[in-house]
Chain A
Amino acid sequence: MTDTTSPATTVVCAVERIVRESGVAALVEGRAVAVFRTHDDEIYALDNYDPFSHASVLSRGIVGTRTVEDVEVPFVASPMYKQAFDLRTGQCLDDADVRVASYAVDVRDGVIHVGAPREPR
């Protein structure tokens, strides 16, 4: 989570607006960002741009879990060609060389705020 005092955050919507295990697209600083809510109410934000299909669509993908090295990873499957992206990091689970930007997320009073892209770890 980013510093809650950071000025550069954009209000997306109330948490309740996103159905569990789905995503919405939001406009953040002129960029299309996909914001997801998991079954346990974690909120994640990734670039909406799918690097495989070159289309702005990741928010419309199916959200689920995939077991990777015995860890249950929350992911979104691109609606175009179904590549899976780790919601936590933006890392593509089907291609180690591909990663989409992940954004800092903050929930205040039930409202989702999205900040700057995070540096890849």
Chain B
Amino acid sequence: MPPRKRLVIVGHGMVAHRFVQSAIDRGLTQTHDIVVVGEERRAAYDRVGLTTFFEVGADALSLLPTGEYDDPRVRLLLGAEVTAIDRDARTVTFPEGELDYDELVLATGSVPFVPPIPGRELDNVFVYRTIEDLEAIREAARAGARVGAVIGGGLLGLEAANALAQLGLETHVVEMAPRLMAVQVDDVGGTTLTRHVERLGLRVHTGAMTQAVLSEEGRVTGLALQDADDVPADLVVFSAGIRPRDALARAAGLEVAERGGVLVDEQCRTSDPHVWAIGECAAPAGVMYGLVAPGYTMADVVVETIGGGERSFTGADMSTKLKLMGVDVASFGDAFATTEGALELVYSDAVTGVYKKLVITDDGQRLLGGILVGDASAYGVLRPMVASGAPLPENPEELILPASRGGSSAGASSLPDEAQICSCNDVSKGDILSHLAREEEPCDSAACVTRCTAAGSTCGSCKPVVKRLVEDYFASTGREVDRSLCEHFAMTRQELYDVVAVHGHTAFEQVLQAHGRGRGCDVCKPAVASILASQLNHHVLDEAHRTLQDTNDAYLANIQKNGTYSVMPRIAGGEVTPEKLIVLGEVARDFGLYTKITGGQRVDLLGARLEQLPAIWRRLVDAGFESGHAYGKSLRTVKSCVGSTWCRYGVQDSTSLAIMLEERYRGLRSPHKIKAGVSGCARECAEARGKDFGVIATEKGWNLYVGGNGGATPAHAQLLAQDLDTATLVRYIDRYLMYYVRTADRLQRTSTWVESLDGGLDRVREVVVDDALGLGTELEAAMERHVDTYFDEWAATLEDPDKLARFVSFVNAPDVPDPHVSFGSTRGQAEPAMPDGPVQLGATIPVGGPR
């Protein structure tokens, strides 16, 4: 076996991370030990998603949350700076020592370019590149900055402006070119974009040359512009482009390109055959690429080449698609129609702010490029059309007309197999089709394709096309995706919900007779029971419904592993009086119940025998408690912090709002459980963004987040609407929850439901905020009905001898507890003892009475 070699990578950004992943995947670590030397203290993170940092935090951006690679042959050194390269000795130098290498890969990235203008060294002057930059900007905003100015109206500049606006700053964008995003869009596109951005409250100054950062007594006061009025600002962000970090390479005598960047060949090899450069520090054929996708390709090329393969980097698709402050912008191919004889096909709607331009060949046969502003949904189909040279359809204008005017999102099926669908991860249409058609475990959904091929996993812009390809494929193979609930109902839950509503069914028997077959099962019965309860809000234990209820609903309590139940009364918003807390303690003590505080700010009492539940609840109801619906697929809790009432940081009364919301939505039967939270300030102590809906107080009102989840697949709730007054907030939540109740699948939490909707969060916003379906009033009325008809299930059960009759151990021996249930103790409280087999009541086994 040849001796193992060492490969050193300088830098640990997105491209270096891709390199390591690629090296592991392609087996390079079988011959090479890899040492990654990162200068930042943080492991690689998603710099493309930096703009979401304030929303999701640093952890969510990390590409390597564990801080190490699974492969033991990869070592990651963070916070370590390489100061020199000795190419003759093949070593790199740190302040602490040296490291030998056989192959050296430079992935040092770039630095923001700060033009040499007076005042650039002042406090409160920032760049926008790292998490630390964003943290510093946020600190400055907290310290009192009110007005921010971003120098640079390109892609990154607008992202920086978005960040400032998110922090609540009045935001100016100052761009030297006559329009925003001058590299990507033309004049009309730029004007359209400016209109969108200004509608969001930003001020745009184009054709404006910054001459100086103004200051008084060392404090930033604004920008001086050439031939224009000063722009007042107490915080300035430079975003005027980037420069490759090639100093290390220069010092080592490697060749660099005229405009900067380490000069490399098509294999990304520098002028030293054992030194390579990838990403933004590299300049293949003298050109630097400031996008992540070409960097990824360079990483793959070097891995292949060192591994003995043949692959070259011969330029990159500089197509861009992004969503900035809710505005879609895309630019691809020959966007400026520089090809000889190129024709332009333009669709522009100034009212809705949509501008689309296709650049086509003079014979009208092929697409060369285009620009999309305001609606870039066609990007996923158009970009691969350019790259593959697929023939244009007969009426190419249909590709950019809105659907209501004859356009369609189709076109994916006409692409050739070699068309690249995902440019971030270089996945072709053929790759996707092969995963759908393979013999062993073929992909059965778009999500599966994304998992298996990585298509759509980086920027996500090709997801609609992936979905389309999957659907087209299934349609072409005649495969029907079985969406039946179970063998008794050949419909989805949503279809069943509609059928029940339209026909006005009030009982499972009617639904089964009219739309099902057989006698039902443990899947369809609870599903129909939930649908009926959502629409009618009757008692779930009424005779027509009780046999349909799932385990926990059947006894209005949560079954535990030994067949006993837990009892959890509602403690709305987590607020409880000492008197009521004492009652909980007394009940727990008197019935010998194990007591634990829950994550939803309630008290759980565990170990109640079936036959004890009525007596326990009699005491609780008498003390003013009501059902907490911990057993139901329904609203659980609205967690809250103490808010502005007590907290010195609180800006709104989160506790009162939480109690109001919990009492509004309590008892609403839904496809799955619903958890919520309300935080009184941006510190987010109620962890509202881990909930199905979360509300966070702002100075001006409430921000509403939806689709969050804790548990096995954590998801941060996403911002649906901001600075709402309480009435609007409630209206939106009413609509959101009812839309969920109506359209989600059985046992689908809101996070996966939002994801599954065509259009995702945007779709939710259309329905809930924009009321695009005109459903708003109807959804609100449905919720109002629920609120008006709410009653406490446990109080009602205690009043009904017929319902109570079920709460017995044995129908023929109601006084004898089930001998199978027994308890041990741990830390002074009860715990279940689990016998190995059925326990028979008899002389040898002592039987205790009810504890």
Contact A77 B842 (CB under 8 A): no
Taking the complex as formed, is B548 at the interface, i.e. its CB lies under 8 A from any CB of chain A? yes
Tell which of B107-115, B187-195, B276-284, B556-564 binds the partner: B556-564
Distance A32 CA – B818 CA, assembled complex (angstroms): 7
**In the bound complex, what is the Cα–Cα distance between A55 and B610 (angstroms)?**
13
Which of A18, A19, A67, A79 has the largest count of B CB atoms less than 10 A from its CB? A79
Contacts of B521 in A (CB 8 A): 62, 64-66, 75, 77, 84
Contact with A along B499-518 (1 / 0, CB 8 A): 00000000000000000001
Q: How many B residues, CB 8 Å from partner?
A: 43
Interface centre among A60, A67, A75, A84 (most CB of B within 10 A): A60
Residue of B nearest to A21 (CB): B547
Q: Chain B's nearest CB lies how many Å from the CB of A74?
A: 8
Q: Which of B68-94 contact A (CB under 8 A)?
A: none
State in angstroms the CA–CA spacing of A54 and B834 once bound together. 7
Mark the stretch among B240-248, B386-394, B804-812 that contacts chain A.
B804-812
- Total contacting residues, chain A, CB less than 8 A: 45
Q: Contacts A19-B543, A32-B838 known; A56 to B519 CB distance under 8 Å?
A: no
Contacting residues, chain B, for A22 (C-beta < 8 A): 546-547
Given A30-B842, A64-B525, A66-B487, are A57 and B563 also a contact pair (CB < 8 Å)? Answer: yes
Which residues of chain B (541-558) have a CB below 8 Å from chain A?
543, 546-551, 554-555
B820 interface residue per 8 A CB criterion: yes
- A53 contacts B554, C-beta separation under 8 Å: no
Say whether A17 contacts B811, CB under 8 Å.
yes
- Interchain CB contact under 8 A, A32 and B547: no
Tell me the bound Cα distance from A26 to B808 in angstroms.
10
Give Cα A77 to B836, complex, Å: 21
Q: Does A90 contact B (CB under 8 A)?
A: no
A75 to B520: give the CA distance in the assembly, Å.
10
CA A13 to CA B841, docked complex, whole Å: 20
State whether the Cβ of A63 lies closer than 8 Å to any Cβ in chain B.
yes
Q: Which residues of B contact A75 (CB under 8 A)?
A: 521
- Given contacts A13-B812, A56-B818, A56-B821, whether A31 and B838 have CB atoms under 8 Å apart is yes
Tell whether A55 pairs with B525 under 8 Å between CB atoms, given A24-B811, A64-B519. no
Say whether A79 contacts B811, CB under 8 Å.
no
A56-B818, A57-B563, A66-B487 as given contacts; A31 in contact with B810, CB under 8 Å = no
A38 to B548, CA, bound (A): 13
Nearest-Cβ distance from residue B816 to partner chain A, whole angstroms = 6
Query: Measured between C-beta atoms, what is the minimum distance from A5 to chain B in Å?
Result: 21
Kindly identify, within residues 1 to 56 of chain A, every residue whose CB is under 8 Å from any CB belonging to chain B.
Answer: 10-13, 17-22, 24-27, 29-32, 35, 38-39, 47-49, 53-56
Contact at B554–A31, with CB atoms within 8 Å?
no
B840: which A residues are within 8 A, CB to CB? 29-31
Within 8 A of A (CB), among B813-851: 813, 816, 818-821, 834-842
Query: B522, A57: Cβ atoms under 8 Å?
Result: no
Task: Identify A26's interface contact among B547, B561, B810, B842, CB under 8 A.
Answer: B810
Establish whether residues A32 and B837, one from each chain, have CB atoms under 8 Å apart when the complex forms. no
When chains A and B are docked, how far (Å) is the Cα of A10 from the Cα of B841?
A: 15
Q: How far is the CB of B133 from chain A (nearest CB, A)?
A: 51
Structural contact, A55 and B809, CB atoms closer than 8 A: no
* Chain A minimum-CB-distance residue to B610: A60
B463 CB, min distance to chain A CBs, angstroms? 34
Asked whether any CB of chain A lies closer than 8 Å to the CB of B369, the reply is no
Is A115 part of the binding interface, using a Cβ–Cβ cutoff of 8 Å?
no
Q: How far is the CA of A29 from the CA of B842 in the complex (A)?
A: 9
Please, could you name 17 A-B residue pairs with CB atoms under 8 Å apart, sorted by A? A18-B811, A27-B841, A30-B841, A31-B840, A39-B519, A53-B561, A54-B834, A56-B563, A57-B559, A57-B563, A60-B551, A64-B488, A64-B520, A65-B519, A66-B518, A75-B521, A80-B561
Beyond A18-B811, A67-B518, 15 extra complex contacts between A and B, CB < 8 Å = A22-B546, A27-B809, A27-B810, A27-B812, A31-B841, A32-B810, A32-B818, A48-B820, A48-B838, A49-B820, A55-B834, A64-B520, A64-B521, A64-B522, A79-B551
